[in-house]
Structure 1
């Protein structure tokens, strides 16, 4: 007999639409979330009202609301979780607007499961959505729908959650978003392997080729097209370099209209609602952890916090990696997947697959909510393959935060805690923002944007402190070195320009 206070997932739901396709409605964020939550409620197959039982609802913060000063283009509800609850007739006593970060929904599964185990909640919802594709399409046509709502009521706003992400030195030198920051880490791994740009792009293509096959079969995919490794790796006008070594097809696709919802209840409440036991999925472990900032990591290519999260989740679940039947490693870019494969010895063509959805470049990078889709797919897999286990690894920032969940229809006792927040490492490399004369290059990227191209590097100054800067691409020897893809270990002479940027040239 499963104890009444055991947390179980009783329902999951996804909803999506693609611009211009039959049935397209140009739904708002709140409408998409409402559709996904309604699907999750229906998935419970309950005898009584699940909506009426919801006491906690967390709405995952949409990308358009994820930075200070960033406003949704068409407005938003004054109470986002309240607006979603209203769409399904729920009146939760506790409502939450999440922080930013792709690990958030996986982390909340652990938080809410722990609250249920402690008797503080009986039925909790995690729901989120993105409507970036619709917002862009409407803006391009001059459309101005009103997505604002006066909902009222109190909710808990957990803030933007950008602590540890705002690395102003890197931002000042043109590495202002996920693509160039991940590219710097990716090139550091390439340097360790001693590979050239073309060879490494082929590796990325081989990694992601199986992802495209899964995405092509997923009805919720934003880009349901199967592609070859060569097609992904080859630089063309359509598949241009966005930041070395990434081609456009191999980075997270944020232009999506997707939503997903997860409903967790106590076993006692699930019984009371009449949810069939065949719907119950047990939460065997959830772990979360925060990584050092990118510019202070001893190894720029590595992400030991994510490895620690996965390993501890496996320990809590009493499983080894080879006992996990289904895997979804967060795949905004290749390196978070490579890191797990490198550590656990998993082949890129492992018959289990490395994604359940099709991955962020192909299924779609549904903002902070992607891993809710992965959890939905994990629930579906273990329900149909009873006794199997699924692992979802969720990543936030620039490999800055990580959360891991392990799921199965096999019962999991919560008599002892199965949710842990791991301690952050404290072995960061000393950094400096003071003037210096020379630097030895550790990693770099050439970032291409509408305003031009910037070669951004991370290295060590004369005092062996970590520093950042730009390469002077107007200087032919310097440009050739960086565009050739092998500046690692080179020493640059540094001048500081009027904007305070460190500009490096080959000595």
Structure 2
């Protein structure tokens, strides 16, 4: 593709981090729609101004911290401009990457001349207001949009297996540890080695966040601080501590403006500030995590990363920067190995979801802004954005930078390849007796750091089942949290608890 009118480039980026101690800020701060509108204005200013009235396509990343009836319409009203294409995305951490890819393809097809995307959350303000007994729709300055009484939380998990719901494994923070434990065993690591790898990786991310002016936690953390449970770094779900999980209690927003190379040149924007949008790919795992073949790989992740680099004609070593989604350590650790990167590779340009901040579905919009800044300083070089959503479920990768060629016209989905790589899925049994073997597990902790219970994913013959380890079974919990021996493959007897759930012990 050589027609400048069909080559998509990023011309403007905007970010905002709204802190409670900022000057001239009210006690509550701006609502998500206001943060998004301000991020778009900043992106417009970054692009030289005059682009907002020309936006024909605006994608809004799903926001959860405030119940809007029509969030895109609120953002458009604040901008005093309603694009012809105004869309609201589903829940998923990969959606900013998908929206950026879709915007590029609209430009390449000649459907629109200017496109944009934005994200924003104000969970920190909303939570602080609740604790103080304040109503942001009444007490903020200006007041937040009146909440929609019919709003339902888009993070409902009714698609999960009933056994997962009964055992309380319905939130990412308690499911990703199942992948971490299974991966450690598959890689031949003791839990201690796996924890130390995670802590070193996260410490590197904290150093990047400390240098990012838009970061939420702007200081470096040592690996020991991240790995060691303390009252300030309590264990959340084994083997993860608080400093190893995403931090959604932030007020942050981001926006990007995309147009064609031809229009950008006509506007007089220097070419070193134009970042081309290259090829990408997407695929998903079965949405119900119990319906997957194994927990020590992610075929969709593998297929997406490989296809994206192949379509761009790049090897991982050609990339000047990467952003590997970092809600929990298992995700970038898997991706790093698939890409063949060294253990000390810096896998973020923004700072990671723990330290930069995790505005729920919007983090990768901030990562894209950080990538643009990096590539503006390295004209002609390329970077990789990789985002994922739900429970290692939805995967999307995209190359930025490189030559002014534009995205290829191959189908975005590589789902067939992901499905081809997946093995047979064991059926989930709800009734079982006798002995069963650990496939993976986690231990859940209360806010004081005491174990509430363990949950084990077990295999018995050709079936999979879930069972609880009660807090009173200290011997089994000790085996599950042994840093020097993985319990994967350990066998033990099953029994039925008083509430009807299966229980398991190491014996």
Could you tell me the TM-score, scaled by structure 2's length? Answer: 0.89
Mark the CA change 1:306 to 1:165 in structure 2 (over 3 Å): closer, same or farther. Answer: farther
Q: Match of 1:417?
A: 409
How far has the Cα of 1:229 moved from its partner? 1.1
Query: 8 Å contact 2:316–2:340 — kept in the other structure?
Result: no
> For the residues of structure 2 that align with 1:86 and 1:325, how far apart are their CA atoms?
39
Query: 8 Å contact 1:106–1:286 — kept in the other structure?
Result: no
- Deviation digits for residues 112-150 of structure 1, max 9, x if unmatched? 222222222222111011111111112121111116548
- Deviation digits for residues 249-282 of structure 1, max 9, x if unmatched? 1111111111001111233443555544343211
How far has the Cα of 1:419 moved from its partner? 5.8
Superposed, 1:63-462 pairs within 5 Å as 63-64=64-65, 72=66, 75-76=67-68, 78-146=69-137, 149=145, 160=154, 166-271=160-265, 273-292=267-286, 293-350=288-345, 353-408=346-401, 410-414=403-407, 416-417=408-409, 420-423=412-415, 424-425=418-419, 427-437=423-433, 438-449=435-446, 453-462=452-461
* Aligned partner of residue 221 in structure 2, secondary structure: coil
Where structure 1 has 5 or more consecutive residues not aligned to the other structure, the ranges are 65-71
Mark the CA change 1:113 to 1:170 in structure 2 (over 3 Å): closer, same or farther. Answer: same
Superposed, 1:461-480 pairs within 5 Å as 461-462=460-461, 464-480=462-478
> For the residues of structure 1 that align with 2:496 and 2:171, how far apart are their CA atoms?
23
Q: Match of 1:38?
A: 41
Query: 8 Å contact 2:426–2:464 — kept in the other structure?
Result: yes
- Deviation digits for residues 82-117 of structure 1, max 9, x if unmatched? 211222232201211110000011011222222222
- Deviation digits for residues 433-455 of structure 1, max 9, x if unmatched? 43111321111000124596121
Query: 8 Å contact 1:127–1:261 — kept in the other structure?
Result: yes
Q: Match of 1:484?
A: 482
Mark the CA change 1:276 to 1:193 in structure 2 (over 3 Å): closer, same or farther. Answer: closer
Q: Match of 1:12?
A: 13
* Aligned partner of residue 453 in structure 1, secondary structure: strand
> For the residues of structure 2 that align with 1:23 and 1:322, how far apart are their CA atoms?
46
> For the residues of structure 2 that align with 1:477 and 1:128, how far apart are their CA atoms?
46
- In the alignment of these two chains, the number of paired residues is 486
> For the residues of structure 2 that align with 1:393 and 1:288, how far apart are their CA atoms?
10
Q: Match of 2:505?
A: 505
Shifted more, 255-264 versus 422-431: the winner is 422-431
How far has the Cα of 1:468 moved from its partner? 1.6
Where structure 2 has 5 or more consecutive residues not aligned to the other structure, the ranges are 138-142
* Aligned partner of residue 126 in structure 1, secondary structure: strand
How far has the Cα of 1:418 moved from its partner? 5.4
* Aligned partner of residue 191 in structure 1, secondary structure: helix
* Aligned partner of residue 404 in structure 2, secondary structure: coil
> For the residues of structure 2 that align with 1:409 and 1:482, how far apart are their CA atoms?
47
How far has the Cα of 1:500 moved from its partner? 4.2
* Aligned partner of residue 367 in structure 2, secondary structure: helix
Query: 8 Å contact 2:30–2:144 — kept in the other structure?
Result: no
Query: 8 Å contact 2:380–2:402 — kept in the other structure?
Result: yes
* Aligned partner of residue 247 in structure 2, secondary structure: coil
> For the residues of structure 1 that align with 2:183 and 2:402, how far apart are their CA atoms?
38
Query: 8 Å contact 1:295–1:458 — kept in the other structure?
Result: no
* Aligned partner of residue 481 in structure 1, secondary structure: helix
- Deviation digits for residues 150-178 of structure 1, max 9, x if unmatched? 899xxxx9x94878963432231122311
Mark the CA change 1:148 to 1:224 in structure 2 (over 3 Å): closer, same or farther. Answer: closer
Could you tell me the TM-score, scaled by structure 1's length? Answer: 0.89
